[in-house]
């Protein structure tokens, strides 16, 4: 959740930075208008547009059927199908990642990526991925 909030705050800060100075804003009004509209559209697609099919799928689940009423098997199957859809939707958007680069030439050039904190190093100094 922290990654999503950080990305959202970053967008708002970017819009604020573009609109902070009134003279350049008025001088290049059309360019700023296009930028702000693009950010607005991104915000809508991210927070509302992409979620609508998923929210509709959850709204279509009958709680009594899913909990074990009549046709319980079909209801539970539908719940798990929507859970899978939810994970497929959320995973690419909110999964924290650590970028790992090949260490051979970068290490020799002195530009190797630092090892994340708490990750033990191998005897040869290469970072070890911890699962």
* Model pLDDT, residue 7: 81
Give the start-to-end residue ranges of the domains of the chain: 1-49, 54-93
Evaluate whether 98 touches 116 at the Cβ level (below 8 Å): yes
Structure confidence by residue, pLDDT tens digits, 10-40: 888 988 888 888 898 888 989 989 999 998 8
Instruction: Select from 57, 49, 64, 56 the least CA-distant residue to 83.
Output: 57
* Model pLDDT, residue 30: 92
């Amino acid at each position: 959740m922290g990654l999503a909030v950080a990305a959202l705050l970053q967008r708002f800060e970017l819009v604020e930075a573009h609109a902070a100075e009134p003279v350049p804003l008025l001088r290049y009004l059309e360019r700023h208008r296009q930028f702000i509209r693009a950010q607005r559209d991104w915000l809508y697609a991210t927070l509302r547009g992409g979620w609508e099919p998923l929210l509709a799928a959850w709204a279509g689940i009958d709680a009594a059927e899913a909990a074990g009423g009549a046709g319980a098997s079909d209801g539970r199957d539908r719940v798990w199908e929507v859970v899978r859809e939810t994970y497929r939707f959320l995973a690419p958007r909110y999964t924290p990642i650590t970028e790992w680069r090949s260490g051979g030439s970068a290490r020799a050039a002195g530009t190797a990526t630092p090892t994340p904190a708490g990750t033990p190093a191998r005897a040869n100094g290469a970072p070890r991925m911890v699962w």
